[in-house]
Amino acid sequence: MVTLMPTYIYETTDETKPLRRFEITQGFHDVPLQIDPETGEALRRVISRGYGVIVRGASIGPSLGSCGSHSD
């Protein structure tokens, strides 16, 4: 079984130093990082627009009857 975990973007917050931005994979329930594990600087998690979901296969939309369908 494959467990998928989201990738979060973090960036340093000290404006007197060069910006460092990186991605890290964490579980939904993991506590957000507050300190950069490499530099020890304070961090914030960046809220991004996110990524689209890629569905592989021939279907280009929901299958018939998957949602919003009415049956008599």
Kindly tell me the burial class for residue 37, based on how many C-beta atoms sit within 10 Å of its own C-beta (0-12, 13-18, 19 or more).
Answer: exposed
Nearest to 42 by CA among 14, 23, 72, 71: 14
Whole-model pTM: value is 0.61
- Per-residue pLDDT tens over the stretch 12-68: 999 999 999 999 998 888 999 999 999 999 999 988 766 555 556 655 555 544 444
Domain limits of the chain? 7-46
Kindly tell me the burial class for residue 43, based on how many C-beta atoms sit within 10 Å of its own C-beta (0-12, 13-18, 19 or more).
Answer: buried
